[in-house]
Amino acid sequence: MTRKIFLAGGTGVLGRRVVPLLTAAGHEVMMNVRNPVAASEATAHGAQSVTVDLFDADAVAQAVDGAEAIINIATAIPTGASAGFKRGWAMNDRLRIEAAANLASALPTGARYVGESITFPYVDGGDGWIDESTDRDYSSVTESVRESESNAIEAGGVSLRFAMFWAADSAHNAQLRGFARRGIFALPGASEAYASWIHIDDAAAAVVAALDVPAGTYNVAEAQPSRRVDHMAAIATSLGRKRLRGLPAALVKLGGPPVEALARSQRVSSRALAEACSWEPQTNIVDIW
């Protein structure tokens, strides 16, 4: 089934993969852009570009009129030192709360809504598998996710809880490898704790698949998450190092709840999404560092 789709967030690391998949599948894509370069990229992939202030409810309602689906993957995740401060997450929070509410509220009757969420709020699962029913514990930088998920579900849509993105062109991946070159594995947590990732191409395929699955919340993660110690060994090998050392527990504690949340053991299962459609994650990240 092909649709007329309004896409918010099409210029991000995820969106750049989603747009060509949508147009290749025959969907008519109207992509929100903010500059001429993004507009030309949209056109190159067969999408139509439009510029809309996502924080203007009236403008959003006008822009999505006639759409048969809204895909909201607009985020502003901070990198570097700014990620350690609440103010660094201000724009991301606005997108999760205000923009998501505007898009969901403007959803035309009968249209499908697909929104982006994350797996990080899940409580520590130890060695056990984490599914969508697992308890969640939000911190100051993830609290906005609760509201964005609520908007998606209230709209009768889909909320995709993504694990950590792995993408060659991701600033976060570049930062992680930068620390690794200095011998440090910058993802907090015990060496035996599980870390769940999702390859960006698998994530993009999940977004497209979500257009046709039953409404609800779905995890999106690699098929076989690995322990941090295995990722450390894989990254060290790829860089020609003997080993990496983890972050000190005292430093993690100093970072407070947001950093401590990243240190949790999360072995996330995507079985629900895989069983709802033909999507299957193709890459386990430990194999490609």
DSSP at 82: G
283 three-state secondary structure = coil
Question: Taking the domains of the chain in order of start, what are their residue ranges?
Answer: 4-287
| CA 104 – CA 108 distance, rounded (Å) | 9
User: pLDDT tens digits for 66-117?
Assistant: 999 999 999 988 776 556 566 778 899 999 999 999 999 999 999 999 999 9
Instruction: Give the whole-angstrom CA distance, residue 193 versus residue 284.
Output: 16
Instruction: Return the number of other C-beta atoms located less than 10 Å from residue 35's C-beta.
Output: 11
Q: What's the CATH superfamily of 4-287?
A: NAD(P)-binding Rossmann-like Domain (3.40.50.720)
Angle at 201 between CA 180 and CA 208, to 5 degrees: 145
Q: Is the pTM of this model over 0.85?
A: yes
Q: List pLDDT tens digits, range 223-269.
A: 999 999 999 999 999 999 999 999 988 888 888 888 888 899 999 99
CB 252 within 8 A of CB 188: yes
For 31-62, write each residue's pLDDT tens digit.
999 899 989 988 999 999 999 999 999 999 99
Q: Within a 10 A sphere around the Cβ of 84, how many other Cβ atoms?
A: 15
The DSSP string of 119-165 is STTBPP-TTSEE-TTS-B---TTTHHHHHHHHHHHHTT-EEEEE-EE
Q: Position 27: which residue type? A: H
User: Which helix (H) or strand (E) covers residue 259, if one does?
Assistant: helix 257-262
Locus of tokens 């990240």: 285
